[in-house]
Amino acid sequence: MSIFFTKHNLTNDSYISYLTENVKVICAHHSRSLTGKPSGADIEQVTYQPAIVGKIFSRLKIQSMYPQYISNLSGLLSKNKAEIIVTPDIYDFIFSQAVRYQKKNPNTKLYVWSETRQWPNFWLSRWVMYGFWWYFKRNIQKVEKVFVFTNQGKQFFNKNAPEVAVEVMPAPIDINLFYPEVEKLYVPQGRLRIIMNARYIPLKEHRTFFDALLLLKKRQIAFSVSLIGRGGHLQGELEEYTKQLGISESISWLEPVAMEELQAIYSAHDVLVLASNREAIGMVVPEAMACGLATVTSRAVGANTYVEEGKTGLIFETGNAAALADALEKLAEKAIVQAYGQAAAKVIREEYSVEVLGAKLLNALE
């Protein structure tokens, strides 16, 4: 069996590396990409077109996605004798290229891996999506299955395209990289240690988090906070806001670190917060869970797929600082946060490791 991935990213690279141990995998890799190639796969260097749009977005530091295609994709598929094609989403010209190839080669199976969870709010983006959706529905019989990263994604496709098979395939976690400390001490000296690993940008809702911290302080809950910004333009403004609230002495602003160093940082905390008002996935959530942390996340976070509410973490209404404070106050109880953290590590190990999810994907493709 030969599988051709027309795109790859950090959320499916672990899957690709796992598959290479069992089947032949060919992966298109952008010639200008700064990210590494998935290990074990045969690589086809490509340039995603229109290249000029990519250059403009890069120069303007715009991180938005836009529809792309691959020159001579049909030739690459034929050259590699692809039996299975996996496209990144239906909102790409790459999907239509794959459909046209499948029509000429009906024995080839087509799968879609989608991050879609809802219709866009911006009217122009929504109408562009409608156009791609129309094409998808028209050719839906060509698609074997849609893989989604989140439960919300499955609900979206079940509602809007009930005739296609959908399976949740969350991004797997490397439990050799993220793991709990054997004798972790929770809430030392009665102080809840909180970490937030998110860029300093509006959608991450740092202000909501800080407002919740002020409420904790007024309730006389002892806490300390570590922030890892990983970029973003609001750090100075946010630092000033914490001073205005009178909570700055409880906050440490950490520099971004390599992935290999995160386990030690996560393990030095009790709970991770991700308060975003929009978050396709949020891989920091399962990473922290694997290290034995409870999580507090907004309902907008896609990574809630990993969370068993009331057992491994708590989920609050997006933008509600009081609800976030209530969740953190509950987890300030040592026995509760320890039980949540240990359950979180167990869930990731047993259900979301590379080995477990890799075998699940291989079975689905076979």
Q: How far is CA 106 from CA 3, 89, 98, in A?
A: 15, 20, 11
Residues 204 and 256 in one domain: yes
Residues 14 and 41 in one domain: yes
Of the residues 139, 169, 199, which one is the last residue of a structural domain? 169
Residues 200 and 261 in one domain: yes
Residues 147 and 260 in one domain: no
> How high is the pLDDT of residue 63?
54
313 domain residue, yes or no: yes
Residues 15 and 162 in one domain: yes
> How high is the pLDDT of residue 208?
98
Residues 161 and 205 in one domain: no
Residues 228 and 267 in one domain: yes
> How high is the pLDDT of residue 51?
66
> How high is the pLDDT of residue 39?
86
Give dist(CA 321, CA 122) in Å, integer: 26
Q: Do 185 and 296 form a contact (C-beta atoms < 8 A)?
A: no
228 domain residue, yes or no: yes
- The domain tally of the chain equals 2
Residues 212 and 275 in one domain: yes
Q: Which domain holds residue 269?
A: 188-351
CATH number at residue 158: 3.40.50.11930
Residues 30 and 145 in one domain: yes
Residues 99 and 39 in one domain: yes
* pLDDT, averaged in runs of 10, over the chain (366 residues): 91 90 93 78 90 62 73 95 95 95 96 91 89 96 96 95 96 96 95 97 97 98 94 91 97 92 97 95 96 97 96 98 98 98 98 96 92
| C-beta contacts of 129-135 below 8 A and 24+ residues apart | 129/91, 132/67, 132/90, 132/91, 132/92, 132/95, 133/90, 133/160, 135/90, 135/95, 135/96, 135/99
Q: Do 241 and 321 form a contact (C-beta atoms < 8 A)?
A: no
247 domain residue, yes or no: yes
77 domain residue, yes or no: yes
Of the residues 103, 138, 169, which one is the last residue of a structural domain? 169
Residues 6+ apart with CB under 8 A from 72: none
Residues 90 and 150 in one domain: yes
48 domain residue, yes or no: yes
Of the residues 169, 203, 233, which one is the last residue of a structural domain? 169
363 domain residue, yes or no: no
177 domain residue, yes or no: no
CATH number at residue 319: 3.40.50.2000
Residues 113 and 222 in one domain: no
> How high is the pLDDT of residue 60?
54
359 domain residue, yes or no: no
Give dist(CA 190, CA 167) in Å, integer: 42
